[in-house]
Amino acid sequence: MKMPITKSQRGFSLLELMVSSAIGVIVVLAMTQMFRMGMNATFTVTQRAETQQNMRAAIELMTRDISLAGAGLPSGGLQLAAGGGNTKVACNQAGVCYVPADTYPTGNFMYGILPGFGNGVESSASITSAPGAVNDSITSIYCDYNFPLTNFTFSFPTKTSASVALVATPTATLPTNILAPGGLNVGDLLLIQVSTPGQGTASGNQGTSSAQTAAVVAEITGIPSSATIDFATGDALNFNQAATDPNSLAYTITNLGSGLGAGNNVTICRLNAVTYFLQVPATGTPRLMRQVNGLTAVPVADNIINLQFSYDVISSTSGLMNANQSNPIAAGDSPGLIQKVNIWMMGQSLVQSGTRFQSMYLASSVSARNMSFCNSYSSSTTTCQ
């Protein structure tokens, strides 16, 4: 009987096990690190894409408003009455003014674009996450034709002691009243132009009888019915001031309501005075705000930490282009001659993970095609219209 012969099986030594385990750990760590790097890259790309998309949406909205600046305004702008003090910019009906230095510039003059150098943060709040740069605001003013006020005829009844009233009579099928969807609201601004034949010229010459147009901007303070608009003095933006000389450059709604507008051709458009600025909420991150007329400001984009503007302006003295003027009024340039607006916006990522947030700039330029046209080639002297 043969006995089975058993052969011994040699296993791994302790050293071999340690070496193989170490190699395995290294491979696992390498794969983990690669996975972590991939996740970080995905997180970074996602943050940058969200930040860029957020800023692009904001700049597209700003571009639309700025490109319309000056549309429907008298050529070169409009002198506002200042007998009762300067008219305010970017204030709501509750008396909250969103930007510092919140009045119309250069003797209460309404331009299509109002540069707001250094006053771009509500209440002059500090944005610690932004670089040490100036924040600006900008106001774009233009006629809003979305609600067809041409469907109405307007007339001024007898002035009351409390306010001036304007009666709107529909002349077309739709809309049938001024409170229709998209219609007028308290705090809206109306540009009212009245042809006043025989009232003298804008220079104040009492002896002439040539026709002129009284252009007045008034703030709606009440809409008591579907066909009546009230303009009381003491309005939030101080547009509805007391009457001045009817032959002066600065008319008021009181002029028109006192008889200057009676029996004359009245044309009206709703003005949009749109202001962009930054706000720092008590809780949360800085955000870009949009405020229209005398209404409450609404947020446009979150995590916007820096907003700057510069302007390409035609010099009224040399006729040459002054490019990239950050503060054209201080430089002696007229905002009415702005030809292009350059925008710089800085945003941070919407989702922050520790200190791994992303910050980036986005720049754009907008042509102000409805502002004063300047012909630099007609003669040695630049002519502007």
The burial class, CB within 10 Å (0-12 / 13-18 / 19+), for 111 is buried
Q: For position 7, what pLDDT does the model report?
A: 63
pLDDT digits (tens, 9 = 90+) for 56-108: 999 999 999 999 999 999 888 898 988 888 999 999 999 999 999 889 998 89
Up-side HSE of residue 277: CA atoms within 13 Å toward CB? 32
Helices (H), the chain: 14-67, 105-108, 253-255
Up-side HSE of residue 69: CA atoms within 13 Å toward CB? 32
Q: Which residues pair with 279 in a beta bridge?
A: 287
Q: Where are the domains of the chain?
A: 48-384
Structure tokens at 336: 């009415």
Q: For position 355, what pLDDT does the model report?
A: 58
- Name the DSSP letter for residue 98: -
In angstroms, what is the C-alpha Rg of the chain? 31
pLDDT digits (tens, 9 = 90+) for 325-348: 999 999 999 999 999 999 999 988
The structure tokens 């007329």 sit at 293
Q: For position 153, what pLDDT does the model report?
A: 87
As a whole number of Å, the end-to-end CA separation of the chain is 125
Low-confidence ranges of the chain (pLDDT < 50): 199-210
